[in-house]
Amino acid sequence: MKLSITPAAQQYFVEEMGLTEGSQVGFHSRVYGKTAVHEGFSVGLTIEAPTGNVLVDQTVDGIYYYINENDEWFFNGYDFEVDFDPSEENFVYNFIEQA
């Protein structure tokens, strides 16, 4: 599994959310909503240090992005890409099926 942050998403995290080097962002499952591959669950994010073991991570310009192991069931079988759509002013979460 890979976690990737697009340049558009990184720009939003820095310019609009004010994140700086040393910030930590976690992605996790959230009850309610839906994704392209889950009904009844959506993606949540937190701006805090990880709790527990990290499943996958990536650092971009000093900002640490991660997914905890306890959410492996939610991301299992997919690479996870975080993008940002300026026309919708919202993050776009892409679940890319692993080969």
CATH for 19: 2.60.300.12
Separation in Å, CA 28 to CA 33, 84, 89, 99: 13, 17, 20, 23
What confidence score (pLDDT) does residue 32 get? 80
The answer to whether the beta carbons of residues 16 and 33 sit under 8 Å apart is no
User: How many domains does the chain divide into?
Assistant: 1
* pLDDT single digits (tens) 38-79: 787 899 999 999 999 999 999 999 999 999 999 999 999 999
How large is the C-alpha radius of gyration of the chain? 13
Residue 35 has pLDDT above 80, yes or no: no
Q: How far apart are CA 33 and CA 24, in angstroms?
A: 24
55 dihedral zone (left: phi>0; alpha: psi -120 to 50; beta):
alpha
pLDDT band at residue 9 using 50, 70 and 90 as cut-offs? very high
**Residue 33 belongs to domain spanning:** 3-97
